[in-house]
Amino acid sequence: MNILQPPGWVRPKGYSNGVVASGRIICVSGMIGWDAQGNFVSDDFVAQARQALRNIVEVLAEADARPEHIVRMTWYVIDKKEYVAAYADIGAIYRELIGRHFPAMTAVQVSALIEDRARVEIEVTAVVP
């Protein structure tokens, strides 16, 4: 996997501008802050983000993939101010569960998520060499 960083561009914090990878592709559906039985762990944004990332790691493991294989990550949030206010906490959780691996990433504010209690939904694409 190669990170794409055009010359002269400011290095992004917490993500990459682009990634080149080849191998076996794993697509993970949007994960939300509920556990394996479909119960929400909390109504707190940070707690839901932690659980969603844990869920991603568990799904990847089913394909013998690891967090460092993630090449693309999309965050859907219902309140961008809540997301921005949680940057520090999210960063710490991200490094704990995903590590210091920063794929191409997008965050989008949406009007709602399908599950009413969900505050965040995260989907990923991974490529295992």
In a domain, 5, yes or no: no
Domain that holds residue 101: 16-128
Q: In the structure, how many helices (H) and strands (E) does the chain have?
A: 3, 6
Q: What is the CATH number of the domain that holds 36?
A: 3.30.1330.40
Task: Give me the mean pLDDT over the 7-21 stretch.
Answer: 93
Overall domain count for the chain = 1
Q: Which residue has the tokens 């802050």?
A: 33
For 112, the token pair is 């709602």
Residue 4 located in a structural domain: no
Residue 1, pLDDT above cutoff 90: no
Q: Are strands 24-31 and 120-128 parallel, antiparallel or unpaired?
A: antiparallel
pLDDT (tens digit per residue) in 22-37: 999 999 999 999 999 9
Decide if 2 is inside a domain. Answer: no
Model confidence, pTM: 0.93
In a domain, 33, yes or no: yes
- pLDDT tens digits for range 108-120: 999 999 999 999 9
**Residue 6 domain-assigned?**
no
Does residue 36 lie within any of the structural domains? yes
Decide if 8 is inside a domain.
no
Cα dihedral 37→102→104→3 (10° resolution): -140
